[in-house]
Structure 1
Amino acid sequence: MVEHMKWWGWGQEGVAFHHEDKPNLAPFVMKVAGIDFDAPPVRVPELSELDVPASRAPEELRAAFVEALGAEHVHDDDLDRVVHTYGKSMRDLVRIRRGDFGRLPDLVVYPGTEAETEAALRIALEADAVLIPFGGGSNIVGSLEAPREETRPVVSLDVGRMRAVLSLDETAKTARIQAGALGPDLEEQLNARGWTIGHFPDSFKHSTLGGWIATRSSGMQSDRFGDIADITRAVRVVTPKGLVATAEVPVQSTGPSVREMVLGSEGRLGIITEATVQVHRLAEERVIQAYFFPDYASGLKAMHAIAASDASPSITRVSDANETQFTLATSKKGSTLGQLLNKGVQLYASKRKGMDLSQMCLSFIGFEGSATSVRRDKTLVGEIVKKHGGFGVGSGPGTLYDQKKFDTPYIRDFILDRGAYGDVSETSSSWTTLKSVHDNVVAAAEKAFAEVGVKGFIFCHLSHSYHSGACQYFTFAFQAPTDRDGLEVYDTVKGAIQQAFIDNGGTLSHHHAVGREHKRWIEQDISPAGAGIVGALFAGVDPGRNLNPGAIVD
């Protein structure tokens, strides 16, 4: 009953990115990154062609899980174990396609209740096994793999059977939801009663409530609804010290927040089984407007002004010039987005507004609520956009963006099929440093491309605006060289981007978490003493290092 993504890539079987209906994309990508979209794809091997190491699970351990959960919920077949080996980072996909499985889980178990989850953890602890919680498997920072050198049995605990909305308190505007609920699961159940959680990360279709909490996720509409840390009001977590259940209250002053400790803990403290979250009535009206700014600096200033205004948009997003050009290149022939830079718009932008078309930046700003509040917010935002040299082009492009917002990860698989690497990194910083962070990160990436001798491309957009700053989300891609391991080149570029975050006043991650990919920067980000406190917390709760050892800190 639990559906998983492809073992070798993103999303469901039969769904993939295609560019044939986007005539400008292939030449654009070839020009900026040297990636040939028309090259024949590299064949992905069948799993049966790869050497999948056998399970090392002792028979008595398997028998204990079978007794507690039922034989149909304890798996040791090759496919299930491979699916639960990694997440979906670029490194994960490259390794798994090579047949480099690292330390495969020996068993995959599927508890259906909190009591069964407690039983599963108890069995793992008594056997001194490693247990790694698994939600949708969309993680891109290495939070799901066991250490390669691990000699103890490794168990992946999949919470996918626990996906119900248990209760809805319409007075308090909260809902109790099981941690294994995927985004579509919980929205379908809430929408049927007229409510929404309002949390829509890129991975929405393939990530779970528990995963969002474990990684401190953010959604595309966090300007209105908040990040998952704002949305989560209470948690229930099965830990080696017993069941942790925090109070379902709006705020409390009861020492260091246990709820906050669970947020972002990536399975190091236990298995999240359910959470109480804020929910909202479905909006009467919802619209996403598109705008153009003369350059990225103007767009950033406008987003800052909007954040400081009385307007309450659900989305504030502005792309830099590189991302704008990429977005326009992805438009289908004859589409609304494809017409944005027709002769009329170009003439208006260049002649009437004095814009340099190569520096123009596309922005999407979302509004939702009552018809009155939407109208008011659109007016306020429109005035701010105009003040910063921008102009609107209607809701057509925004509708298209809304329809395609979860499809971007498929592009990464498409270019990987053609020997190219693409990935994302995001950070947050203050409004004061936002532009310098952007410029210095782009410079660091371009320097890294030059050092490793590849033609690469990097672009960025601002999203998730806050009182004091915002998130910037960077995407980079390059054609892998044929004379070196592409992962070595990837490490150089990715490392340069992450270090530039830290060096310029940003954080190592805004919402993708730490995992194993980012933990070498953790002390620079939160200080050695801060990292020591986090490590001491994990050691105090899990002295045997049985829960996802190696994630976040060593």
Structure 2
Amino acid sequence: MVEHMKWWGWGRESVSFSPADKPALAPFIRKHIGLDVTRPPAQAPAFADLDIADPILPDALRDALTAAVGAEHVHTETLERVVHAYGKSLRDLVRVRGGDLGRLPDAVVYPGGEDEVRAVLTAAIDADAVVIPFGGGTNISGSLEAPRGEIRPVLSVDLGRLDRVLDIDTDARLARIQAGALGPDLEAQLNALGWTLGHFPDSFSHSTLGGWIATRSSGMQSDKYGDIADITKAVRVVTPAGVLATRAVPSQSTGPSVREMILGSEGRLGIITEATVQVHRVPEERTILGYFFPTWDEALLAMREIAESEAAPSVTRVADPGETRFSLATSKKGSAVTALVSRGLKQYLARVKHFDLERMCLSFIGFEGSSGHVRTQRKLVGDIVKRHGGVCVGTGPGQLYDQKKFDTPYIRDFLLGQGALADVSETATSWSQLASLYTGVVARAHKTFDEIGVQGWIMAHLSHSYHSGACLYFTFAFASPVTLDGLERYDAVKSAIQQGFIDLGGTLSHHHAVGLEHAPWLADDISPAGVSLVAALFDGIDPGHNLNPGKIIPSVVPGPAAD
């Protein structure tokens, strides 16, 4: 059995977000977006009320799929088809809650190995069907939906049965892992043998190795372990031309990198079945410390100095003043953060350190390794933090961060139920442009809030530091009807932020992929010549546009020849 998330929202049916034990949250939301979240939330729609079209699955294709994977692994039930129709973007959730299901897959297929994946792809291409690879379904960029109006059969190929760590080369510190392995499952298998991948994106609980590779994801500890592009050393991919297999060598000079072509390809080049990834021994010690900085500008300078120093933390994350206040507002009564603040920290910061409490910024910095290494790293980072007016507040906030780091998407679902649209956009830029990009994007968002007549909120944090720059991750929210019409307001805000990234020197996406949501800005990011290059690659491997058409670069689906 492959476990899936709610068809109408994020995560497990048994898990949801509640403000009941967070006394400061409801007043915070009322103040900043004018919404009363103490009301009972809107109920999820009843599945039985959905208008679900019958599948279009020719007998010959059904027979070929059954021969490939077995009848028990070919599903045309309505719930399976709806679960696999969308990812979990805000747009996806608004549409599915409104009964706008788009073009549902006609069948969901669960291959059990690479040979079965090959047989499924062969059957699909022979039948001129559309194939959309599916990992955990967490994508928020529109990478999983079929083109509306698609008249060919649509297959969702769920890799959930390919979930094993196959082999570990302990000398090379490389592991072969099947692409459908979920984050918790692959970490459990590695940890049992003393290893870790070290890749922990926000979607970790419900996303897969293949999905990470297909979207070029980043994890919370990327400062130490690298992004998935750094972690992935070789891939196996079933393509229309056969099985693409690269070698797990330290470096090579063999023309354009085929491995890199697969990274971020979103299923346009084939179905990833396996990857060889670098792994690390489970660290002897792991700790995350909390710090407060007096201002955002000082915090950014400290993060830059840490990145260019000899310090090597596993996590460098700092919230702007808005996100800091939001984080404090989401603290549970009696939690570590609440206790710290209530025991006089605010008074100390204001009176002794001369902080303006409305401008202070909360930071989390993580350290891993031997006890001696961690001690040395803490000293290096501590000295830098002090130079920029920062104050260490110990492990309490870090423990809270560890506990809450995978819960954020549940807050978005809660707000949808209360009548608010909340979403994220992230980018990366150089240290020299980071502050101006931040200021410009925030200003554009507020200008758009005014133009569409809403009381809106935008906040951000820095994460994923690099030698030359860092990622900025923005979150925005405003009260709005959770309807298809409400998405027009959402589009205005989202577009203003995305265009701000491009105009102010950032990339359109640091780790959320392109899909459909970000495709309008691709030529501005990689140049029109770059778009032509990528389009030629897609057309060359998939001339019939059978592989997840329309993602990254819009496809023109071949039609019948004119008479």
Q: Does TM, scored on the shorter chain, surpass 0.5?
A: yes
- In 2: Cα distance, 1:58 partner to 1:41 partner: 42
- In 1: Cα distance, 2:401 partner to 2:343 partner: 22
Could you tell me the TM-score, scaled by structure 2's length? 0.97
Which deviates more, 475-484 or 536-545? Answer: 475-484
**1:248 positional shift:** 1.2
Query: What letter matches 2:468 in structure 1?
Result: S
Q: In the alignment, what sits opposite 2:108? A: 108
**1:352 positional shift:** 1.6
**1:482 positional shift:** 8.6
Query: What letter matches 1:508 in structure 2?
Result: L
- In 1: Cα distance, 2:233 partner to 2:127 partner: 34
- In 1: Cα distance, 2:93 partner to 2:294 partner: 38
Q: Per-residue displacement from partner, 1:202-255 (whole Å, max 9, x unpaired)?
A: 000000000000000000000000000000000000001110000111111100
Query: What letter matches 2:508 in structure 1?
Result: L
Contact 1:167–1:175 (Cα < 8 Å) also in 2: yes
Pair 1:152–1:549, CA change in 2 (3 A): same
**1:47 positional shift:** 1.0
Which residues in structure 2 correspond to 1:265-344 (within 5 Å)? 265-342=265-342, 344=344
What SS is found at the alignment partner of 1:244? strand
- In 2: Cα distance, 1:49 partner to 1:110 partner: 27
- In 2: Cα distance, 1:155 partner to 1:230 partner: 31
Q: In the alignment, what sits opposite 1:407? A: 407
Query: What letter matches 2:222 in structure 1?
Result: S
**1:14 positional shift:** 1.1
Pair 1:483–1:174, CA change in 2 (3 A): closer
Query: What letter matches 1:311 in structure 2?
Result: A
Q: In the alignment, what sits opposite 2:425? A: 425
- In 2: Cα distance, 1:339 partner to 1:506 partner: 38
Q: In the alignment, what sits opposite 2:388? A: 388
- In 2: Cα distance, 1:74 partner to 1:479 partner: 41
**1:484 positional shift:** 8.4
- Alignment of 1:354 with 2:373, yes or no, is no
What SS is found at the alignment partner of 2:394? coil
Could you tell me the TM-score, scaled by structure 1's length? 0.99
Contact 2:94–2:482 (Cα < 8 Å) also in 1: no
Q: In the alignment, what sits opposite 1:497? A: 497
- In 1: Cα distance, 2:9 partner to 2:343 partner: 40
Contact 2:346–2:357 (Cα < 8 Å) also in 1: yes
- In 2: Cα distance, 1:538 partner to 1:227 partner: 24
- In 2: Cα distance, 1:497 partner to 1:127 partner: 41
Structure 2: unaligned runs, 5 residues or longer: 555-563
**1:346 positional shift:** 1.6
Q: In the alignment, what sits opposite 1:119? A: 119
- In 2: Cα distance, 1:173 partner to 1:183 partner: 19
Q: In the alignment, what sits opposite 1:466? A: 466
**1:343 positional shift:** 5.9
What SS is found at the alignment partner of 2:418? coil
- In 2: Cα distance, 1:346 partner to 1:8 partner: 41
Q: Per-residue displacement from partner, 1:509-543 (whole Å, max 9, x unpaired)?
A: 00000000000000001000001100110000000
Which residues in structure 2 correspond to 1:137-286 (within 5 Å)? 137-286=137-286
**1:481 positional shift:** 4.8
Contact 1:318–1:363 (Cα < 8 Å) also in 2: yes
Contact 1:523–1:530 (Cα < 8 Å) also in 2: yes
The share of aligned pairs that are identical, in percent, is 66
**1:49 positional shift:** 1.2
Q: Per-residue displacement from partner, 1:84-129 (whole Å, max 9, x unpaired)?
A: 0000000000001111111100010000000000000000000000
Q: In the alignment, what sits opposite 1:82? A: 82
Structure 1: unaligned runs, 5 residues or longer: none
- In 2: Cα distance, 1:91 partner to 1:32 partner: 23
What SS is found at the alignment partner of 1:119? helix
- In 2: Cα distance, 1:25 partner to 1:218 partner: 29
**Matched pairs, number:** 554
Q: Per-residue displacement from partner, 1:463-508 (whole Å, max 9, x unpaired)?
A: 0000000000000111005998210100000010000000000000
Q: In the alignment, what sits opposite 2:95? A: 95
Q: In the alignment, what sits opposite 1:540? A: 540
**1:341 positional shift:** 2.6
- Alignment of 1:513 with 2:513, yes or no, is yes
Query: What letter matches 1:239 in structure 2?
Result: T
Q: Per-residue displacement from partner, 1:60-87 (whole Å, max 9, x unpaired)?
A: 2111101111000000010000000000
- In 1: Cα distance, 2:346 partner to 2:17 partner: 29
What SS is found at the alignment partner of 2:367? strand
- In 1: Cα distance, 2:176 partner to 2:481 partner: 50
Q: In the alignment, what sits opposite 2:557? A: none
Q: In the alignment, what sits opposite 1:488? A: 488
**1:336 positional shift:** 1.3
Contact 2:420–2:482 (Cα < 8 Å) also in 1: no
- Alignment of 1:440 with 2:440, yes or no, is yes
**1:367 positional shift:** 0.3
Contact 2:94–2:483 (Cα < 8 Å) also in 1: no
* CA-atom RMSD in angstroms: 1.0
Q: Per-residue displacement from partner, 1:414-457 (whole Å, max 9, x unpaired)?
A: 00011111001100000000011111111111111111101110
Contact 1:454–1:481 (Cα < 8 Å) also in 2: no
- In 2: Cα distance, 1:283 partner to 1:133 partner: 34
